[in-house]
Structures are given as structure tokens and as C-alpha cells.
Chain A
Amino acid sequence: MALDKFGIAKRIAQEVKDGFYVNLGIGIPTLVANYIPSTINVVLQSENGLLGIGPFPHEQDVDPDLINAGKQTITMLPGSALFNSAESFGMIRSGKIHLTILGAMEVSENGDIANWKVPGKMVKGMGGAMDLVASAKNIIVAMQHKSKAGESKLLKQCSLPITGLHCVKKIVTDLAVLDVLPGGGFKLLERAPGVSVEEIKDSTEGKLIIDSDTIPEMTL
């Protein structure tokens, strides 16, 4: 069974380690926050100027002056800090954020990512994505393995306009967990429960590296 978006978020949450400062993109990445175990200490950054994002507020605590990068109302956890947008991207550019999790439309086998523009469609802008992918030490992409039309989104080369080059380190899709190797290629690490290696092979256009006879199933 391919994972739904909650399954993808749940699996990615396992990559978040104690002591990490993490930036979560809009969409599936935002859901990851719900699955980070309470036994570890993690600080979530919102690029509009907050370290220490808390849960959504209760109705009576909604504050229009407190939103995340997706413009959702949020709360602050004890120990939070507020700052301006230039400082926010300063900490991103200087590599202080340990992990960035974001969505993608395409990823290439050498780690290029495309997630901001589809030619012929309305261009809404890149927001902070180009800054994040150009600077993050570790980038995990949450995405569907194939498009709705059944085309692979893990490619030899991206066909859409690029957001950043050679930056994606790991991908969690509805079908698999894969590392993007420094020398190029998607190394298959885990299968979604009940998904066969054959199905992953058929769904991956880029170079797929399988160096074990038994690829384990994800534990969720």
C-alpha cells in the first residue's frame, strides 16, 4: 500500500533528531511536526521570523500577529525567539538550521530540485525555497513518487525550472525512502509497507541503486 500524506510525514519525523533546529515547508512537511516524538527536543523555525513554533492556538488565543510561513495562526512555545526576515534568512544561509523538509514537483538523480514553477501556469513565486535549498545542510524532500498522470517524478534530469542544484539528500515518497548519493543516483533504503521493489523500479525514471537483496519495509 502506498503511503498517504500522513504516512509520509510520519516516516520523515523519524529523521528529526534531538537538538535539531528544523524548517518545515508548506504542505506535507508541516504535518511532520505532529509526529515528532515528545521525548526529543526540537525547535521549529518559521522563516517569517520565529524560532519555537507551537501548536495551532485555541480559539480564544488566536493572535493575528502570530503566523507561520503558510500564513496559518500558530502559538509560541516557551523559549521562543522572534526576529526579522533578514535575520531569519541569515540563520538559514549560515547553516544554523540542521534540517529542511520541503515538497517537490521533481527531483533529479544528482539532487537537483524543481518545486516553484510550471511553465504555462500562473507563477506564484519561489518564496523562501531557493534560499533554503541553496544553504541547508540537510534537505529531505516529501513528495509523491509519480504524478497524477503516472509519470515518475524521480528523474535523470528535472524538466521543470530548477529551484536549486545538487541539494537534496533524502527523499520520502508514498512508495519508498531513498538517499540521493553524492555521486548521483537514488539509493533505495526502504519500501512502503506492501510495496514491491519492482513497483519502485517501475516508478523511478532516474538511476535507482539497489545494493541489497532485501530492502526492508518502513516501520511507521
Chain B
Amino acid sequence: MINKVVKDAETAIADIKDGVILMVGGFGLCGIPENSIAALLKKNIKKLTCISNNAGVDDFGLGLLLKSKQIKKMISSYVGENEEFERQLLAGELEVELIPQGTLAERIRAGGAGIPAFYTPAGYGTEVAEGKEVREFEGKMYLMEQWLRADFSIVKAWKGDTSGNLIYKGTARNFNPMMAAAGKITIAEVEELVPAGELDPNNIHTPGIYVTRIFEGKNYEKRIEQRTITAN
């Protein structure tokens, strides 16, 4: 088997340069590659275009890279919960492209599946449709949307093996599998890295072919945005 293991986040991101297009997995703060974000922060890589459903919060997730002004452009579906984001946007320091969430997910999926474009009804008749081809199928109107691909995709999984196969947990799966497939180079960080052969092939979510490098992350904080509880 091809061994894809690198020792840590710093090694995994060593060839990421200023100005690249990055896909970063996660929904809110759930399923984000915490170790890799910390390494990008430490290395101070700048002028990043980040494709990620959200932009983190002020002091965690991609919010850390926003605060240090390493992000030039965000491509997301929802960017609330972040005051620094708002400040930079209003000051003209940050570009943002907002995309309907299902369209974002499918554009990334298309990128990983080798499909340059597809039609979706989301956004027809809205400002999202501006400049896009519109076509009618069976009496309903659709917009043409194009694939998204990245120089680097950074994803987070629960378990992974030395061949790069990944298993996600709970709703931390979200955008990670499509992003893993849509990166020219894909970096996977996992909570538990095991030798090839230990994961049941029936249960693999992301086949190792999509993963270029894998490492076991440490000290996962897994911050919760809205801790909602049922009283005991």
C-alpha cells in the first residue's frame, strides 16, 4: 500500500504558498481541521482564497486566519457569528462570494467528480442568477453552476489509516468528503490514525485515492457554538 503519513500539520502544509485556493472542511466549528488551521496561522501564509461553508468565529476556526489578515477572499454560504469578518468586509479588506449551501456542496462534488457544470433550481430569479445561463427542463427553470476545485483541500476525519482512507463521525462529515475529492493536493487530519487493514473497507467514507497526506492531529478542542441542553 502507498504510505501517505506525514508527522504533523506543519509538515503537511509545508508547500502551501501565499495566494493559493484552499478548501477547508467543516460546518460551523464542527468537523474543521483544527491542527492545519493552527499551522497555517503559525506559518502566516497570506492572500488565501478559502472555500468553506462558514468563516469560523472571531477566535476559532477560520476566524483565526481572518483576524491575522491571511484571507483575501471567502467563498461560503453563511458567514454570520464573526465580528472581525464583518469589519473587514465593510472596510473593503476582504472579498466574499456567497453561494447557496446546496449549490456550494454540489459545485465541490462536481469538482471532485470531473463534472465541469450542472443545472440547479436554487437561486433562479434571485441575484445569485446574475450572469448565469438559465435553462428550462420539464417546465422548471434552472441555473447552470460550475465546478469548484482547489489547489489544496484540508479535511478533518475521525479515523484514518496509513493508506489515506477516512471515516467521519456524526455531523462532522458535512463538506469534508467532497472537498477531499476536489483538491489537487488533499491533506487529511484525523483524531486516530491506524495501520492499513484496521478499518473495515465496508465503512470507509473517503477512499484513500483522494488523500495525498494524512496525519494524526492533537489536542482537539472541538469548540461548541451553541451548547443546547435538556435538563436532567
Contact = CB atoms under 8 A, between A and B. Distances in A.
A48 B229 contact: no
21 contacts: A48-B171, A57-B228, A59-B232, A67-B30, A67-B226, A73-B224, A73-B226, A84-B174, A89-B102, A89-B105, A125-B80, A126-B77, A126-B100, A127-B100, A128-B100, A130-B102, A130-B128, A131-B122, A134-B122, A134-B124, A164-B125
Contacts of B33: none
B103 A131 contact: yes
B25 to A, nearest CB: 10
A100 interface: no
How many chain B residues sit at the interface, stated as a range, is 35 or more
Contacts of B27: 48-49, 67, 69, 71, 85
Nearest to B178: A86
Interface of A: 46-50, 55-59, 62-74, 82-86, 88-90, 92-93, 112, 122-131, 134-135, 161-165
Contact of B170 (A55, A69, A82, A161): A82
A163 B79 CA distance: 17
Interface of B: 27-31, 53, 76-81, 86, 89-90, 98, 100-103, 105-106, 108-109, 120-128, 158, 169-178, 205, 222-232
B222 A65 contact: yes
Contacts of B31: 65
User: B-side binding surface: helix, strand, loop or mixed?
Assistant: loop
User: A-side binding surface: helix, strand, loop or mixed?
Assistant: loop
A181 to B, nearest CB: 19
B125 A85 contact: no
Given A56-B230, A73-B224, A123-B98, A84 B177 contact: yes
A88 B105 contact: yes
A58 B230 contact: yes
Contact of A73 (B120, B175, B227): B227
Pairs of residues from A and B, 9 with the lowest C-beta to C-beta distance, nearest first: A89-B102, A131-B102, A65-B170, A64-B222, A124-B80, A125-B78, A130-B100, A134-B121, A165-B125
Nearest to B57: A71
A188 B27 CA distance: 39
Contact of B30 (A71, A124, A135, A164): A71
With a 10 A CB-CB cut-off, give which of A56, A66, A84, A125 has the most chain B CB atoms: A125
A64 B223 contact: yes
Given A59-B232, A73-B227, A93-B121, A130 B126 contact: yes
A69 B28 CA distance: 9
A86 B229 contact: no
A30 B10 CA distance: 41
Nearest to A166: B125
Contacts of B103: 89, 130-131
B149 to A, nearest CB: 15
Given A66-B170, A85-B175, A57 B30 contact: no
Given A85-B101, A161-B126, A57 B178 contact: no
A122 B80 CA distance: 9
B128 A84 contact: no
Contacts of A126: 77-78, 98, 100-101, 128
A65 B126 contact: no
B223 to A, nearest CB: 7
